[in-house]
Chain A
Amino acid sequence: MVLVVLAAAIKSVATNPRFEWHVVRQYFTNSAILAGLRITLELTVIAMAMGIVIGVVLAVMRRSPVPVVSGTAWAYIWFFRGTPVLVQLLFWEFISALYPKIVLGIPFIGVTFYHGNANALITAFTAAALGLGLNEGAYMAEIVRAGILSVEEGQTEAAQSLGMSRLKTMRLIVLPQAMKVIIPPTGNETISMLKTTSLASVISVRDLLFNAQIIYARTFKTIPLLIVASIWYLIVTSILTFGQYYLERYFGKGTSRSLPPTPFQRLRALFRRNLTTFHQPPAPIITSGTEHR
């Protein structure tokens, strides 16, 4: 039943001339599309890097016994999760209306290292990176916090009994173990971020979607270009999913006695077994975990 519906759908997609697959192929490696893809990837990487760093800092801050520190982290998360990311992007785009000049220095005593014009400094790309990164930080903070909470309290106590400070305990003992819990949702966030970057097209960042829109505004090949963009998003998402699998494996070590084989190892083992069937008993499929360490 499922197969029938699937076959019908594939036939329809493949034979409906309005999909204009030849146009899809024509624009798939168009230089504007590839340039847009590059911007999309850059935005994703920068925003996620910012998000992870901010997230870890906020999560550790929230555990602080000093109320001002934990309160600040709480307020940050409250604000950035409480407003739509699109609105935040627009705010950053128009930041020069609030603060025409940007000055870097030590407040109250008049030391400045740098000052400049906000309009020149905050380009559309910077605004998008800032908006997405700061917003992501709030979400990552909650993910990291969940990870920290997942680590047994005995671990912290053991580290403290060795004389480790609070921060050292976090860095050496708690966070490495929290990774197991942090990685899967972070992979999710990265994939979600890849797609959220398309919002940046609203503040005219020349990302994948923006450039696809520019092209179809000129050529009226709306559907094929949206398909081009979708296929690129799918490709990158698939690569990310693949990378996430190996990261999870890496950080899962030490928690189970041996790791399950990767799909590749399974394939290879299957292959090896089929080859050797006639000569000797089958090779064991499950390889021991120790050889990966």
Chain B
Amino acid sequence: MSAAVPMVKSEGVHKSFGRLEVLRGIDMEVAPKEVVVIIGPSGSGKSTFLRCINHLEKINAGRLSVDGELVGYRQRGDKIHELHDKDVARKRAEIGMVFQRFNLFPHMTAIENVMVGPVQVKRENKTDVRQRAQRLLDRVGLGHRCDAHPAQLSGGQQQRVAIARALCMQPKLMLFDEPTSALDPELVGEVLDVMRELATSGMTMIVVTHEIGFAREVGDALVFMDEGVILEAGAPKEVVANPQHERTQQFLSKVL
């Protein structure tokens, strides 16, 4: 890796829900412009780890930092203080997130969905944001559907609007939480195309997915998680072609 500050650095991150330990010591580094794909069986903690990165979940132990700054905490000397809600929100604004179930705002049109973040959170000029939103919707191939409400769009179209919504905040990191899992098979391709284009444009991305093909083609690194730990990580083609760990072999044989 380069000497630059890693975009994401995770050291021994633990997370429990009550007695259930979901993450049991995650170590990971993501360099700027890198695309990391996380795979693994359901319940392995992939999504939880993604949600920890933008502090939708609080970690119980370990250190997690984005672009050199701790997530949800501030370090002064030896002491670590919890951040105020406002500061947490400000940090979240720098990280884009795309959800499995799209989570578009149903009472707003496509372009309003894309505009609401920059206008309401960053207090940017509405005319500028509208232009940028229009460009982004064009980029994801939905320039003609600006005024449609989410209910009038297909799943694939909704997910592309959701990607445009996250991008309009001009994030330095994009998180994808199983972005194609809720889609009909024939709609998966259009979303992956948008993500592929985004990766080529130099966006730092962490993608939780079951699309091994996408991982192999677009990913710089592939991480296999199981039961809250990283079992295997490396260049995607290598991991897929020649998995070292037995669990990885089993998993890959099922999804491939």
Q: Which residues of A are in contact with B by a Cβ distance under 8 Å?
A: 152, 154-155, 157-166, 168, 172-173, 176-177, 253-257
Contacts of B169 in A (CB 8 A): 162-163
Q: Are B120 and A158 in contact (CB under 8 A)?
A: no
Q: Are B151 and A172 in contact (CB under 8 A)?
A: no
Q: Are B106 and A158 in contact (CB under 8 A)?
A: no
A172 with B116, Cβ < 8 A, contacts A154-B101, A161-B54, A163-B121 known: yes
Q: Are B116 and A177 in contact (CB under 8 A)?
A: no
Which of B31-39, B73-81, B86-94, B187-195 has 4 or more CB atoms under 8 Å from chain A? B86-94
Q: CA A165 – CA B87 in complex, angstroms? A: 10
Q: CA A256 – CA B149 in complex, angstroms? A: 9
**Which of A161, A165, A255 is close to B97, meaning CB atoms less than 8 Å apart?**
A161
Contacts of B117 in A (CB 8 A): 162-164
The answer to whether the Cβ of B246 comes within 8 Å of any Cβ in the partner chain is no
Q: CA A72 – CA B151 in complex, angstroms? A: 39
- Residues 81-112 of B, flagged 1 when their CB comes within 8 A of A and 0 if not, give 00001100111111111010101111110000
Q: Report the minimum CB–CB distance from B64 to chain A (whole Å).
A: 16
Q: Are A164 and B89 in contact (CB under 8 A)?
A: yes
Q: Report the minimum CB–CB distance from B29 to chain A (whole Å).
A: 22
Q: Are A257 and B107 in contact (CB under 8 A)?
A: no
> Tally of A-B residue pairs with Cβ under 8 A?
77
Contacts of A161 in B (CB 8 A): 54, 56, 92, 95-97, 99, 166
Q: CA A155 – CA B107 in complex, angstroms? A: 11
| Leading 5 A-B pairs by shortest Cβ distance | A163-B93, A158-B103, A162-B117, A161-B97, A154-B103
A254 with B106, Cβ < 8 A, contacts A160-B89, A164-B121 known: yes
The answer to whether the Cβ of B165 comes within 8 Å of any Cβ in the partner chain is yes
The answer to whether the Cβ of B150 comes within 8 Å of any Cβ in the partner chain is yes
Q: Are A160 and B101 in contact (CB under 8 A)?
A: no
